[in-house]
Amino acid sequence: MGRVACIDIGTVTCRLAVADVADGRVEHLHKRSTIVDLGENLTQTGRICDGARERVLACVDGYLVEARSMAAPVICCTLTSAARDASNSDELLAEFAERDLKAQVIPGNVEGNLTLLGACQDFPGHLVLVADNGGGSTELALGMLTPDGLDARAIRSVDVGCRRITERFLSAGDPPSADDLAAAHAFAAEFFDDTVRELGLREAGAERLVVTGGTVTSLVAIDAKLEPYDSSYVHLHEMTRTQVEGLERQLAQITVAERAQLPGLQPKRARVILGGAVAVSELMRATGFDRLTVSESDLLFGLALTVDGVCGQGLSPVSWEPELTSLV
């Protein structure tokens, strides 16, 4: 069994995983998630703002201490949509380098492959459509886990995410107007419809839609009024499109401050949760699924398996290799 650590820095959250991996399976996973809003005002400025950079650095400093305290010998660090979009991501990467941390801005197809690898662990031998719905983008990945490894049949990163939708369409009013909400739906629908058509996802024969990310886990928690959060309840929980649309209507009728008081929702996610619900609703409509499965076996899960594969056998289970930083 090998122990590995991974940091994933998304548009909204910065997450740590310390995993014990044996025979290509994650046996135990310790996860921590912090809302850092790396994508704050990114849609308007095209840059990572000073406040966001400082929040991320403080969070990563704490994660490095935690990973060392758990005796993880190596760590990898990836950044996704916000860092891909920002014109000054190199400044943040330079700050990481000063900490002797090798950080990589990964393209959307790699992000999709890693999430597919993680999510497929729960459905071996079954063709699934996996959607990683984040703050700046949604990665759609069609594939299955076979005895020979991951069979990734289609991967596409789509620029639809909860923060991107919020900043473009849902920030003028609190709560937003019906016209602004309709514009948000039209935006998400155009991107998802085009992608689904181009990749032939409706005709591909996927057995289920598996969705990862903070929006869907939060929607489950809100629906069940989970306090405290219970990952054993959320993981592999199913939600219908009717439930998602009902939660969206509820969220659209109240202010950000009122959303922050909802049982099951992290207050810092209150501003972007409606945008996320819009994205998930349009994703389900476009793909033709009336039910989705929520998964916590996400990008971090896939990262842990990939790092272990590189460390143990020198082989990556996806077409990408992480740059590793020694913690010893």
Q: 14-28, 143-157, 255-269: which range is least confident on average?
A: 14-28
Q: Spell out the residues 6+ positions from residue 228 whose beta carbon is closer than 8 angstroms to its own.
A: none
pLDDT mean over 70-94: 96
Dump pLDDT digits (tens) for 95-148: 999 999 999 999 999 999 999 999 999 999 999 999 999 999 999 999 999 999
Dump pLDDT digits (tens) for 189-232: 999 999 999 999 999 999 999 999 999 999 999 999 999 999 99
Determine contact, residues 213/272, Cβ cutoff 8 Å. Answer: no
Write down the residue that tokens 């609703």 correspond to: 281
Helix, strand or coil, per DSSP, at residue 124: coil
What percent of the chain stands above pLDDT 90? 94
pLDDT mean over 183-187: 98
Residue 279: closest CA among 206, 178, 210, 191: 191
Prediction pTM value: 0.95
Please report which confidence band the pLDDT of residue 312 belongs to, taking 50, 70 and 90 as the band edges. Answer: confident
What is the number of other CB atoms lying within 10 angstroms of the CB of residue 235? 15
Q: How far is CA 25 from CA 3, 176, 238, 314, in A?
A: 12, 44, 24, 16
Q: Which pLDDT does position 1 carry in this prediction?
A: 57
Q: For the chain, which residues make up each domain, given as ranges?
A: 2-105+299-326, 110-294
DSSP per position, 39-103: TTTHHHHSS--HHHHHHHHHHHHHHHHHHHHTT-SEEEEEE-HHHHH-TTHHHHHHHHHHTT--E
pLDDT mean over 148-167: 96
Q: Which pLDDT does position 2 carry in this prediction?
A: 87
Class of domain 2-105+299-326: alpha beta
Q: How confident is the prediction for the chain on average, in pLDDT?
A: 96
Burial class (CB in 10 A: 0-12, 13-18, 19+), 234: buried
Q: In whole angstroms, give the CA distance from residue 47 to residue 87.
A: 5
Q: In whole angstroms, give the CA distance from residue 214 to residue 104.
A: 22
- Would 2-105+299-326 and 110-294 be classified into the same CATH topology? yes
Q: In whole angstroms, give the CA distance from residue 86 to residue 209.
A: 30
The CATH architecture one would assign to domain 110-294 is 2-Layer Sandwich (3.30)
Determine contact, residues 131/137, Cβ cutoff 8 Å. Answer: no
